[in-house]
Structure 1
Amino acid sequence: MKLKTANIYLIQSGGIRPVLLELITDDGVTGVGEAGLAYGLGGLAATGMLKEMIERYLANGQGPFGVQSLWAEMYDHSFWTKGGGPVVFSAMSAIEQALMDIKARALGIPVYELLGGRMRDGLRTYANGWYFGCTSDSDLPKAAVGAVTDGYGALKFYPFATILPDGRLRHPSLRGASEPELVRQAISRVAAVREAVGPEVELMLDLSAGATPDDTIRFCHAIEKFDITYVEEPADPGDIGSLIKVANALSQRVAVGERVYTRYGFRDVLESRAVDILQPDIGNTGGLLEARKIAAMAEAYSVKVQPHICASALSTAVGMHFSASIPNFYIQEHFPYWDRIPGHIEVLEDPIEPTLKNGVIPIRDSPGFGVTFRREALRDCLYQTVAL
């Protein structure tokens, strides 16, 4: 079996811009992957990096099965991978995912079997994006209750974020979020949501490294009475010293990882002993096998793991296979409300989201990732086809 064609897609989908990859073999087996730069900037850069990597490393009769060998070749010889960031590692992640999908489909097994096998039948999940469509702080409590009514027993939101007119959020500025009135507003938001959903629902707060360490500490002390499950990114991802300072001052758990890349980046985070939950993004940290190695490192430090997910429905499917296979899984991130954002495009024929029951993702046992692209939705989104 040899790789024959690579299709790279760049999709304008409401509030995000997913970058998807499809690899096709000469036997007609197809594998899919996603570069995890759907939000923020970098999607166009990821498509270009994907094209270059595919042309250099997958052309000339390359087979799809030597995943680890190919990963090492890309890491050792792409130059910018050493100390690299999200663009180069998101491209490697998409390629690795698609190859894993091909391999599993060719063998007739789910991808989680390639990661050591399934350890659970369902994944406890939390709803992110439940606030989509809110246009003011007063809308948040009702939206939170709506998500709980839908069966979610855990919710995450962004207390320092700005609510935009189209119902999305804008992540905080380090300068803006440290202004006293915005800190007070953030505390008020947490109080209102907690009152609305009651004491039994778990609340997670993503701080997005938006406040200075001292203001973060003051804020977290002020919300202790609201029983927050964890605070995410309480310090700049590259500032281990501030992370240690904040973690040592908090009673809440600390979660970090969406902007940390490969096992090499997570090594220093784990050595700091300042983190309780790691959140590698399978779409930008190097792929499934790399995330599996990160989870194994975390296990040695008695640290929980949950994959960071904020992209298309494909990323949820990929995350399901990863989470099903690791012993130190904590909870699965999940965006069930993207369709509230104008212009949203569903990229899969068979997304996982509609199969949830009572906030739990059932583990699928179909070959590969168990999902297929919606051809009609992607018809006008093809960025590049590369003949291999």
Structure 2
Amino acid sequence: MDQFHKMLQFFSGFHFFPPVKVAPETALSTAQQAGLTPRDERRRASIPYRGQPATIWQSLRQRQPSSRWCGALASSTTGCPAAVDRVAADRRWVALCVWRRAPRLPGPNDRDPTRRAHRNGTIDATATDARSDTLGRGCATLAISPIRTKEPAMRCSPYSDADATRFDRRHLMGSLGLATAGVGLLRGFASGEDDPVEAPIDRHSTIRIRSLQPHICRDRVYVKVETNAGIFGWGEIKGVVPSVAATLATEMFSLIDNQNPTRIEHLWQTLYRAERNQRGGAFMVHCIAGIDMALWDIAGKLWKTPVYRLLGGPTRERIRVYPSAKAVKIGSGPRPQSGDPFDIEEMVSRVRAARQRLGPRGTVMFDAHSAVPPATLIQLASRIEPSNILFLEEPAVPGNIEVFKRLKQQIGIPLALGERDRTIWGVIPYLTENAIDILQPDCGYTGGITQMKKIATLAEAFHVPLAPHCTQSYLGMTASFHVTASIPLFLIHESYDNKLLGRFLHPTWKRSDEGYVSLPEGHGLGIEVDEAMLATVASDPAYRYRWRGPQFYPDGSVADY
């Protein structure tokens, strides 16, 4: 803000001062209660703009006892500015008053209030921008501009035609610029200085977040974020206990309430850094991911374009997905810490059967699910030709980069991971230590569209392609498709149909028999949500959420899965 003030002051010669914040019921009627030092003193008064009017004026007079005070102050509740009845003898001042929900003031013979303000030598900011209803309650502001005139004295009042004086074109245009800038400045000043979340409010847009509604549906939560412009967005939270996620998302709303939804990066940082002891965990990051999807959905709808165009535009015409007729993935449950021939042969035979079924042009992947211990995985990899499978997925439990480095040195098959590694900070060690060949971020687990796009950029720097993990419904899947459509290095995308959830989720992309999906169409994410059907599916009395684990070895000890 200080740099902006200095720039305007340098080019226009105007002085800008912070708004005087007073109680709504306070009626200020004299110019002495607005108070600014004339510019010819070549220095500013240090104005304490928070506090009671009496305290402010006592401080002002103590700091600048010899100054001549002039100005006008408008109450945001009454909308009644006080007339300027004193001016400096050697310099003329025009007072710019802006207030909340103030009506336009058309002249008797002129329908354009802006022209009337210019003709009279006064400027009403609401004539320039009538949408000044973004101001906070009980807030008032004042900006003063010095203007040279030919008359020895001048009185300026926003309501008085008789007291107003004309001035030349050059100063008229300068004052018009001040009026426009004053409206923009006021939007930022009236954002609740006592709340650090609301302080950096966007001054160039009036769209604001108004509500967040979580909808629990079976093992996930769908969040709907609404705005004052009638535009809303949808996101999906999965992979955590839904009742807890819904509560946490509701609590997070207080951090983004009344914020501009298009400031997606800023809001992501706000949510992630709001509580130092919770940042980075599954519950927080998964909830942020759902909210992030909804914000991108809103932004695309607001600008009437698909989200992938906001991310840089499409880098491909279609997206390869699995499972399909030409691509399958084989999974594995818990295995012993080191296998016997029977254990190894069972996994090898499944890979061999898939290869024979698909032929040399088909794609086979093997998912260890972090359930095959490192020693057993090394045994398995030694029995499989590297060209027979596209990659080995989740070769170990995340947490110790040294384990992945050891596996990378001993296994010739490409290693893929990343579904349980959240945010850019979670994936960067794998890249810098050259521990993986393929990165698998999940849009719903890693922090949403915002983080997935950043992860793709990091991976590109290491020439590591993405094969996004995705077990979400069509909503979260579509969000992931938008990122995939906009990145250069991509291999294949996980994608499963869910007929039950598909009863209320209607995407615009189409799946082909060749194993590809088209790019999403329409504005935003490009998916319609039938809220009535969502409520019907969610109200199934027979469904009860259950934990997926634990799983056990034959001896009763707990196994990874």
TM-score scaled to structure 1, two decimals?
0.80
Structure 1: which amino acid aligns with 2:329?
K
Equivalences for residues 143-182 of structure 1 within 5 A:
147-148=324-325, 153-158=326-331, 160=332, 172-173=333-334, 175=336, 181-182=342-343
**Secondary structure at the residue paired with 1:327?**
coil
Indicate the residue corresponding to 2:535 in structure 1.
379
**Secondary structure at the residue paired with 1:205?**
strand
345, 351, 372: which one aligns with 2:507: 351
* Cα separation, 2, equivalents of 1:259 and 1:230: 17
Deviates more, 1:210-219 or 1:172-181: 172-181
**Secondary structure at the residue paired with 1:208?**
coil
Deviates more, 1:88-97 or 1:187-196: 187-196
Indicate the residue corresponding to 1:138 in structure 2.
none
Is the contact between residue 18 and residue 36 of structure 1 (CA under 8 Å) also seen in structure 2? yes
Q: Report deviation, 1:176.
A: 8.0
* Cα separation, 2, equivalents of 1:62 and 1:31: 14
Going from structure 1 to structure 2, the CA distance change for 1:326 and 1:81 (only over 3 Å counts) comes to farther
Indicate the residue corresponding to 1:276 in structure 2.
437
Pairing 1:52–2:225 present: no
Q: Report deviation, 1:226.
A: 6.8
Superposition RMSD in Å: 2.2
Pairing 1:362–2:518 present: yes
Is the contact between residue 366 and residue 389 of structure 2 (CA under 8 Å) also seen in structure 1? yes
Indicate the residue corresponding to 1:260 in structure 2.
421
Indicate the residue corresponding to 1:132 in structure 2.
none
Is the contact between residue 36 and residue 281 of structure 1 (CA under 8 Å) also seen in structure 2? no
Going from structure 1 to structure 2, the CA distance change for 1:239 and 1:347 (only over 3 Å counts) comes to farther
Is the contact between residue 337 and residue 374 of structure 2 (CA under 8 Å) also seen in structure 1? no
* Cα separation, 2, equivalents of 1:178 and 1:22: 48
* Cα separation, 2, equivalents of 1:177 and 1:29: 56
* Cα separation, 2, equivalents of 1:260 and 1:49: 21
Q: Report deviation, 1:68.
A: 1.0
Q: Report deviation, 1:357.
A: 4.2
Indicate the residue corresponding to 1:23 in structure 2.
225
Residue deviations 1:41-89 (CA, integer Å, cap 9, x gap) = 53333222212211x2122x2221211111111222222344x222110
Indicate the residue corresponding to 1:125 in structure 2.
321
Is the contact between residue 475 and residue 505 of structure 2 (CA under 8 Å) also seen in structure 1? no
Pairing 1:329–2:527 present: no
**Secondary structure at the residue paired with 1:229?**
coil
36, 58, 71: which one aligns with 2:238: 36
Pairing 1:86–2:259 present: no
**Secondary structure at the residue paired with 1:236?**
coil
Structure 1: which amino acid aligns with 2:357?
A
Is the contact between residue 465 and residue 491 of structure 2 (CA under 8 Å) also seen in structure 1? yes
Q: Give the gaps of 5 or more residues in structure 1.
A: 128-146, 161-171, 383-388
Q: Number of residue pairs matched? A: 333
Pairing 1:5–2:217 present: no
Is the contact between residue 317 and residue 519 of structure 2 (CA under 8 Å) also seen in structure 1? yes
Q: Give the gaps of 5 or more residues in structure 2.
A: 1-206, 540-561
Indicate the residue corresponding to 1:243 in structure 2.
404
Pairing 1:75–2:272 present: yes
**Secondary structure at the residue paired with 1:34?**
strand
Is the contact between residue 337 and residue 376 of structure 2 (CA under 8 Å) also seen in structure 1? no
* Cα separation, 1, equivalents of 2:328 and 2:438: 16
Going from structure 1 to structure 2, the CA distance change for 1:85 and 1:177 (only over 3 Å counts) comes to farther
Q: Report deviation, 1:376.
A: 3.2
Q: Report deviation, 1:98.
A: 0.4
- Sequence identity, in percent? 29
Residue deviations 1:163-206 (CA, integer Å, cap 9, x gap) = xxxxxxxxx23548957644332222222222222222110111
* Cα separation, 2, equivalents of 1:290 and 1:352: 24
259, 264, 288: which one aligns with 1:62: 259
* Cα separation, 2, equivalents of 1:174 and 1:80: 35
Indicate the residue corresponding to 1:295 in structure 2.
456
Deviates more, 1:96-105 or 1:180-189: 180-189
TM-score scaled to structure 2, two decimals?
0.56
* Cα separation, 1, equivalents of 2:291 and 2:465: 27
* Cα separation, 1, equivalents of 2:460 and 2:233: 30
> Normalized per residue, which structure has more helix?
1
* Cα separation, 2, equivalents of 1:371 and 1:179: 49
Q: Report deviation, 1:352.
A: 5.4
Indicate the residue corresponding to 2:347 in structure 1.
186
Is the contact between residue 33 and residue 97 of structure 1 (CA under 8 Å) also seen in structure 2? yes
Structure with bigger gyration radius: 2
Q: Report deviation, 1:348.
A: 4.0
Residue deviations 1:122-163 (CA, integer Å, cap 9, x gap) = 111221xxxxxxxxxxxxxxxxxxx52xxxx221120x2xxx
